[in-house]
Structures are given as C-alpha cells and as structure tokens.
Structure 1
C-alpha cells in the first residue's frame, strides 16, 4: 500500500454545510459538492477508479461544477438516488484515505475532511502533533513546538524543516542535518513539557515517530520496497 509522503494536520478539503443546514452560497459547499470534493481528494492522492467510475465522476462534475468559475454552495444533484450514490462513493473514498493515514493520525469527515493526531497517550505511537495539541488544550504553547513537529523537505536552496505553510529552519546541505535540527527541537520540547508541568506528555518522547523526510532517497527506497 502506498503511504502518504506529505501530510498536514487540519482540513484537506474546503468546508461544507452539513445535511439539513441552510446553504451558505459562495462560502461553503453543499453536501453534494463536499462529497464530490472527497472523491476528488482521494483521486488526487492516488486512488484509481475503473472506466465506469471515472465516467460517473465526470457526470457528477458536469452537474455540480461545469466551470471553475461557478459559485459553490448552491448546487445539488437533481436525482436523490444519484445523490445517495455520490454519498456512498465519498464514504468509500474516505475509507481509502483512512487506510493511508500516517501512524498516529486519523482522517475524519465532518464539515470537511480533516487529518487529526490521535491523542491516546498509551498508544504505541504518539505523534509530536498530538503532544503539542494536548499541551495547547491545557493552556501551554511551547517555544519548541513548531520545529519539533516539522517535516524535512527539499526546496530551492537546500533542505528545510517546516510544515505545510512555513519553513521553520534551514536551508541545510543535507536532509540529515535538517532532521538533526528537528531532533534537537524535540529534545527541547520534552524539557519544556516537564518544566511546564506536563511530565506525562514528555514521557511519550520515546514513542514519537521518526522525523518525516519527504523525497529523501532512503525514504523513497523504503516505500518502493514496501509496495513490492
């Protein structure tokens, strides 16, 4: 199974109104539009469809979004049975996504598709994102949290440590040097958690996953081996 190489905590689709809620034209998707977005998200991330399924997606697109400039939040499928079929297809797409969630995370579908860290401190894998979230819920935002939760990725100029929006450290000549910066931040984070009165969160440090490294040759080779 192909795993996600890049991910971020938070929404992965636009937001939509829930069934039964009044529409918000121009601001949120209708339930049909949002279900269509879920199907599209899985396709973008690599879910393969049969020829018949691809044709059905195009038919839904023609009815819900025939042009990119069409206002969202007002369109629904005319046939209720067709809407039910789209809802079922979206549920199948979400199941496909859920199987590919990184260790320690889950995809959930409410008013959007979100990736969220699992916050069970007794789990075999406890993510840095989960620890940061729990500390924030207790009222503490710690200086090392952003860099400690960073991924390593290559960009123009070298290797950086950052999230989906910002680079928090770098550039570095190698991926390992960027990863070392994240590891050092994780040590700082563990110390800051203890100082802030959260020893239970700091105690999970030995179960934090390895620093994610996108596009690193060793990571690519490991993923290729896993799919053989």
Structure 2
C-alpha cells in the first residue's frame, strides 16, 4: 500500500446532499451522485476494480451523468437496490482512501470526501493543522506552518497550500522547507504564548514538511 504523494486538507469532491437533506439542483450532488464521486475519486487515485465492477461503474455513470453538461443535483438511481449497492461500493472506496491518508490525517465522508487532521494530541503523529484547530485562537504563523513545498513549472520552489503560495520563490526545495520549519517554530512559540503548552509540546511529533517534486 502506497500513501498519497500529493494531498491537501479539505474537500476532494464536489459537495452533495446527505440522505434526508433537501437537494440543491445545480449546486450540490444528489446522494447517489455524491456516492458515485467517492467511487470515481478512488479510481482516479489508483484503486483497481474487476472487469465486472468496472462495468457496474459504467452503468451507474450512464444513469447519473451520461454527458458532462448534464446538471448535477437532480439525478438518482431508479432502483433502490442499485442505489444501495452504490452506497456500499462508495463505503469500500472511502475505506481504501482512508488507508492511504497521510499519517495524522483521515478521509471522511460528510457532504464531500474530506481529508481532515486527526484531533488527538496524544497520537504518535500529530498534524500541524490539528494543533491549530485544537488551539482555536488566532495564530499568525499557522498559514505558512501548515504549507507544503512544491516545484513550479519554471523550476522554482514555493511553500503554500492547494490554492495559494505563501513563501517563495526559493532556489531549492531545502530553502522552501526551511521557511516552513521557521514558521513551525514560530507557531510553537505562539501556542505557548496562547497558554497551550500542551499543543506546543506536540511539535516534535509533527510530520515532516511535505515536498512535492512534480
């Protein structure tokens, strides 16, 4: 089993409606569409299916979204047993995803598939985001301290999240990592200043700064 090489905290699918909620056509997936997204996400990330299961996925796709321009949030499987099978398959796909979550994180299904930090300060690995969330106070260093290091198309290195770069360009990955490490040191100091010595003490169990080379 190989952990994900590229990842981000937050939603990994379009948001949808959970069972019992009112659908929002055009903005949120129906429950069946959301379950199909879970199955599709796992396939994109490398989950292999048998030929029979692949055929079933195609049948679900034909019923839920035969064209890319079809409006979301209005389509559901006609057969309740088929919808139940899709739900079960989505749960299997979610379990497959969770097995590949980075240390200190978990995949959960809310109204989307989300990667979240495990909020256990006693764990062997404590995500930096977990310390930030548990502190629940303004921490100026948090944004850079939780950043990943990525290489740009031009060859420079940046530290940032899935949307924005917060530091860089840097000439090497090590320089970008050093910027994040400095922010993590500041974050630990800010946690202490906020009276959260317990969370600052988790710093030696924070994961290494993630570096994505391509």
Paired residue total: 213
Offset at 1:71? 0.8
Offset at 1:8? 1.4
Offset at 1:193? 1.1
> Structure 2: 5+ residue runs without aligned partners?
none
> Structure 1: 5+ residue runs without aligned partners?
217-228
Offset at 1:90? 0.4
Offset at 1:156? 2.7
Distance 2:138 2:50 in 1: 47
Partner of 2:101: 101
Distance 2:10 2:115 in 1: 5
Partner of 2:206: 208
Offset at 1:22? 2.3
Task: Note if 1:183 corresponds to 2:185.
Answer: no
Distance 1:68 1:141 in 2: 42
| TM-score (structure 1 length as normaliser) | 0.90
Q: What is the root-mean-square deviation in Å for CA atoms of aligned residues?
A: 1.1
Distance 2:22 2:124 in 1: 42
- Map residues 1-228 of structure 1 onto 2, 5 A cutoff: 1-136=1-136, 140-157=137-154, 158-215=156-213
Distance 2:202 2:175 in 1: 24
Offset at 1:20? 2.1
| Stretch deviating more after TM superposition (177-186 or 1-10) | 1-10
Superposed CA offset, 1:147-171 (max 9, x none):
1111111113311111111111011
TM superposition outliers: structure 1 runs of 4+ over 6 Å: none
User: Helix, strand or coil: the match of 2:59?
Assistant: helix
Distance 1:22 1:122 in 2: 39
